Amino acid sequence: AAKRAGRNGYAIFDPTMTMSVLEEAQLRSDLEHALEHDEFLVLYQPVVDMQTQSVTSVEALVRWEHPRDGLLGPYHFIGAAEANGLIVPLGRWVLREACAQLASWRAASPAAARLKINVNLSARQFQYAGLVDDVAQALADAGVDAGSLTLEITESMLMEDIETAKRTLYALRELGVRLAIDDFGTGYSSLSYLKQLPVDVIKIDKTFVDDVHIDADDVALVDAVAGLGQALKMQTVAEGIETDAQWSTLRNLGIDHGQGYLFGKPADPTQIHALLTGVGAISA
Ligand code: C2E
Ligand code: MG
Ligand code: MG
Ligand code: MG
């Protein structure tokens, strides 16, 4: 059962617990209703160049504007949507929304001409046979070039069924889309498989960033991943940077890009436009 938490009807979905049939059915119908009635929205978090702090891309992060419970983060519904399959249409919506938003920023300002976008994929979406067509369609409909889109997947999604994963990754690569491994270091990647996969970006999980300015073990781990990135010609991004001390440590370790509250929290499209055009800053 998803535990009932506070004022939110939906608790953090814990797959090790079983929701009652009733709870499951209710959440499913609420999610369906939400999709039909445009209750989802996408916020965008800047990813910056570690040296210059200039914004190179933004990551699309979905939210549910729940009519009763207010703005819900992904931990309240992604797990359930994954379990009941609604993640496929929801993920498709996020993908299409993000591509359309990128086109709209670009149309509004030359400052967005080289901006790129990152979209998270869930395991079920990654296994879905129509994924590659969905991605191609979203890009075509928005008029966005494939090279401007990076799809984020996790290690567990790759290692579960390596041959199928490989085929999907190569089909996406064929389109020209870039691929990132999200939350790197928290799963189990086999280095020999990693070498064979067309991965462009490694995103180092926040858990390695939290104490990197004070913990020599974290420095050693991040240093190793930076070396791995260099050896495999993959770019590195550090996630969850909140302080100048973390930033300078990671910059000195040669990490290419950074993401975190220090540079900007997830923000709405207007705030991102303002950030790009220098009209305003995102409050951190
Ligand atoms: P993620 O892809 O690893 O995204 C990074 C998460 O860390 C985001 O949480 C972001 O708001 C948060 N974050 C970024 N910088 C900082 C920081 O400096 N400090 C702290 N404390 N947190 C930071 P969010 O938006 O709650 O998303 C959580 C996860 O939900 C994402 O992790 C991703 O796995 C998933 N998710 C979000 N949007 C989507 C989506 O459209 N589709 C799918 N399948 N998953 C999504
Ligand atoms: Mg991500
Ligand atoms: Mg991550
Ligand atoms: Mg994460």
Nearest CA to ligand 1 atom 4: 61
- Mean pLDDT rounded to a whole number for the chain: 91
Residue 148 Cβ < 6 Å to ligand 1: no
Task: Look at residue 14 in the predicted model and tell me its pLDDT.
Answer: 59
Of the candidates 184, 180, 175, 114, the one whose C-alpha atom is nearest the C-alpha of residue 152 is: 180
Own/partner long-range contacts of 20-27 (Cβ < 8 Å, ≥24 apart)? 24/80, 24/84, 27/2, 27/77, 27/80, 27/84
Higher-confidence position of 150 and 189: 150
What is the sign, positive or negative, of the torsion defined by CA atoms of 141, 142, 145, 148?
A: negative
Which H or E run contains 45? strand 40-49
Residue 34 contacts residue 69 (beta carbons within 8 Å): no
How, if at all, do strands 55-66 and 149-154 pair? Answer: unpaired
Task: Compute CA distances 3 → 29, 67, 68, whole Å.
Answer: 18, 20, 18
Residue 151 contacts residue 177 (beta carbons within 8 Å): yes
Residue 218 Cβ < 6 Å to ligand 1: no
Query: Residues 83-125: pLDDT tens digits?
Result: 999 999 999 999 999 999 999 999 999 999 999 999 999 999 9
Q: What is the DSSP letter of 8?
A: B
Taking each continuous run of H as one helix and of E as one strand, the counts in the chain are 12, 9
- What count of Cα atoms within 13 Å lies in the side-chain half-sphere of residue 165? 23
The rounded distance, in Å, linking the Cα atoms of 266 and 283 is 10
Residue 34 contacts residue 40 (beta carbons within 8 Å): yes
Q: Which ligand is located closest to the Cα atom of residue 183?
A: 3
Pocket test for ligand 1, best of 42, 57, 78, 134 (most atoms within 8 A of CB): 78
Task: Look at residue 10 in the predicted model and tell me its pLDDT.
Answer: 57
Across 138-144, average pLDDT? 98
Across 1-15, average pLDDT? 48
Strand partners, 240: none
Q: Is the reported ipTM for this assembly greater than 0.95?
A: yes
For the chain, give the number of residues. 284
Query: Residues 13-24: pLDDT tens digits?
Result: 555 566 778 888
Residue 94 Cβ < 6 Å to ligand 1: yes
Q: What is the DSSP letter of 14?
A: -
High-pLDDT (> 70) share of the chain, % = 92
The rounded distance, in Å, linking the Cα atoms of 181 and 190 is 13
Q: How is residue 55 written in tokens?
A: 């914004």
pTM confidence score? 0.93
Which H or E run contains 61? strand 55-66
Nearest CA to ligand 1 atom 7: 240
The rounded distance, in Å, linking the Cα atoms of 24 and 60 is 27
